[in-house]
A = this chain, B = another copy of it.
Amino acid sequence: MSEPTSPVRVAVVQFDPQVGIEKCVGNLRRSLELALEAVKGGANLIVLPELSNTGYFFSNRQDAFAHAEAVPDGPSVQRWIDFAREHNVYLVAGLAERDGMRLFNTGVLVGPDGFIGKYRKAHLWNLEKLWFTPGDLGFPVFDTPIGRIGLLICWDIWFPEVPRILAQQGADIICSLNNWVWTPPPLFDDAGKCMASYLTMTAAHVNNVFIAAASRIGEERGARYLGCSLIAGTNGWPIGAVASADRQEILFADVDLTSSRSAPIWNNLNDLHRDRRADLYDQMLGYTQHPCLPR
C-alpha cells in the first residue's frame, strides 16, 4: 500500500444543514463555502457531517426518496468531486443515496482525481430504519496518497466493532460523519462534552487511530443536534478544542498519519493490536443478540 504524505491538515466542518427539498441547494452551497474556508485554512482533508446536503429529519420514506441521489452520478457528489479537483484536496461528505428502489445513508470520499469510494451506514438510528436499507458494503478502508481512510456514520460508533474493524484493516484515520442527537441524560458533562465525544476519544485511543468527527448543530422538527465535533489523536485525546454544542465551526489539526502505523509507545511488551486475544473472541460471533432479550 502507498505511504502517506504527512503531516496532513485535517478539517472538520460543523454546521446546520436543514431538511427540505427546497433547501438542498442551499445546504450544498453552504457546505462548499465552508469547505472553501477550510481550504483557505490549509486543509488537505475535509470532513462534512452526515447527510450534509439534505438535512436529517425526513418525514417519511417518500420524503427521503425525494432527497436522495445516485452515487457518484448525482449532482451533490459531482459538485464535491469538482471541488476536490479544483482545490486539490480530499473531501468526505454524507448524503442520502438512491440505488434503484433502495436508499442508503452514505458517506463518500472524493479527491483530486475524482471519486474514490463510498460507505453505507451499517447501523441505522431510529426512524432511518423506516426509509434506509442497512449498509451492505462492510467497512471499507480506502488507500489514498495521503494515507488509508475509513468512514463511519454516527450510530456506527456505538458499536466498538466498527472502529476496531477499520483499524484492523490498517486505517490511519477514520472520518466520522455525524448528526449526534439525544442520548440517555445528561446530554453533556461539566466539560461540555457529550457521550459521543468520549466514544470518539476512546475508539481512537484503543485502536491507535486518528478520528476526525464532524457533527452538526441546530434543530429540525423537534430534534436538537449536539455539535461537539472533534479530532482525536491516536492517544485518544482531542487535538485542540472540542467544538461547541451550537455554533458553526471549523476545527483544524495537523496530524502525522504515519504515527498510526507505529505501535504506540506503551512499553517494550505491549502493542494494542498484537495484544488482542482473538483466540478468546470467537464467542463474540456466537451471540447475534443479547440472550436476555425476546427473540
* A contacts, CB < 8 Å to B: 122-123, 125-127, 129-130, 134-135, 138-139, 155, 158-161, 164-165, 167-170, 183-186, 189-191, 195, 198-199, 201-202, 205-206, 234-237, 261, 263-267, 269-285, 287-293
Is the Cβ of A270 less than 8 Å from the Cβ of B125? yes
B293 x A276 contact (CB < 8 A): no
Question: Is the Cβ of A290 less than 8 Å from the Cβ of B170?
Answer: yes
Using A235-B184, A289-B274 as known contacts, say yes or no to A160 and B164 having CB atoms under 8 A apart. yes
Contacts of A199 in B (CB 8 A): 202, 205-206
Find out whether the CB atom of A198 lies under 8 angstroms from the CB atom of B195: no
- Interface residues of chain A: helix, strand, loop or mixed (majority): loop
- Beyond the given pairs A160-B164, A279-B288, 12 more chain A to chain B contacts, judged by CB atoms under 8 angstroms and listed by A's residue number, are A135-B280, A138-B283, A161-B281, A168-B283, A170-B291, A170-B292, A190-B191, A271-B293, A273-B290, A274-B289, A281-B285, A282-B285
Asked if residues B263 and A122 are in contact (CB atoms below 8 Å), the reply is no
The interface residues of chain B lying within 8 Å CB-to-CB of A291 are: 168-170
Q: In whole angstroms, how far apart are the Cα atoms of A278 and B134 in the complex?
A: 13
8 contacts between A and B (CB under 8 A): A155-B275, A158-B206, A170-B291, A184-B236, A186-B237, A261-B292, A271-B293, A276-B289
